Amino acid sequence: KPQVHTAFIRGVGANRIYAGQMAVLGRSSVGPIIQQMWNQEKDHLKKFSELMVAYRVRPTVLLPFWNVAGFVLGAGSALLGKKGAMACTVAVEESISEHYNNQIRTLVEEDPEIYKELLQVIKQFRDDEREHHDIGIEHDAEATPAYSVLKTAIQLGCKAAIFLSERI
């Protein structure tokens, strides 16, 4: 299922972004919060990896690139300061939540019964991501200079990455 693959790539990306942010801001005041969000992402990623194996999905060839790019994005946004890191988190989490919502809608349309367990998992993850998003907002993400520009740029980048991953 291509959806499992997309979710997996997003998980990998989020994981690497938090890793990057921790590398820069790990010892700052927001460190523990980022660490907590990162731990949740690691759990999500583990679940997606299991699904990838269960459905025998081929991971994209571009995976090593996304590993590096995610880290760079996380570190880069963190270098812009705590607010920058939070802005990046908000942008990414927003697009992830949207993606989960779409998936939930698709699965419910197709057959809620068959996918009950999967739906539960995705709903849980979506709530987690929304929580991350709200944490980001709480921490003054919106006060970042050029917030909307940054957010749009990051979301476009994510969309492009997913687009390529689905094809290669």
Candidate residues 29, 58, 113, 117; the one interacting with another protein per rule CB under 8 A: 58
- Between 31 and 50, how does the x/- string for binding to another protein read (CB under 8 A)? ------------------x-
C-alpha 14 chain-centroid distance: 4
Which pair of structure tokens corresponds to residue 126?
A: 């979506």
* 52 versus 150: smaller Cβ distance to another protein: 52
CB atoms within 10 A of CB 119: 16
Query: Shortest approach of another protein to residue 88 CB, angstroms?
Result: 24
User: Does residue 68 interact with another protein by CB under 8 A?
Assistant: no
- Name, in order, each residue with C-beta under 8 angstroms of 20's C-beta and a sequence gap of 6 or more: 70, 71, 72, 73, 74, 75, 76, 77, 78
The burial class, CB within 10 Å (0-12 / 13-18 / 19+), for 76 is middle
Query: Shortest approach of another protein to residue 5 CB, angstroms?
Result: 5
* 34 versus 75: smaller Cβ distance to another protein: 75
User: Does residue 90 interact with another protein by CB under 8 A?
Assistant: no
Q: Quick check: 16 and 66 in contact, CB under 8 A? A: yes
Candidate residues 57, 104, 107, 118; the one interacting with another protein per rule CB under 8 A: 57
Q: How far is CA 155 from CA 37, 117, 148, in A?
A: 19, 29, 10
Candidates 34-42, 61-69, 70-78, 145-153: pick the segment binding another protein (CB under 8 A).
61-69
Candidates 51-59, 86-94, 133-141, 147-155: pick the segment binding another protein (CB under 8 A).
51-59
129 is an annotated ligand-binding site residue: yes
Q: Which residues are annotated as a binding site?
A: 41, 44, 93, 129, 132
